[in-house]
Amino acid sequence: MARRHSAVEDQELARRLLGSDGPLYVIEAAWTTGAIASLLWYAAFRCPFCGEFFHWTIWIANPVADACVHCGFRKWRDPHAARSLRR
> Residue 46: phi, psi to the nearest 5?
-100, 145
The pLDDT tens digits for 23-38 are: 778 888 999 999 999 9
How do residues 36-47 score in pLDDT, each as one tens digit? Answer: 999 888 888 888
Residue 80: band (very low, low, confident or very high) from pLDDT cuts 50, 70, 90: confident
Q: How big is the CA angle at 39 (ends 38 and 42), to the nearest 5 degrees?
A: 85
SS3 of residue 43 by DSSP: helix
Banded pLDDT at 86 (limits 50, 70, 90): low
Is the CB of residue 54 less than 8 Å from the CB of residue 41?
Answer: no
pLDDT of residue 77 exceeding 60, the answer is yes
Q: CB-based contacts of 79: which residues, under 8 Å, 6+ apart?
A: 48, 49, 73
Q: What is the mean pLDDT of residues 40-68?
A: 86
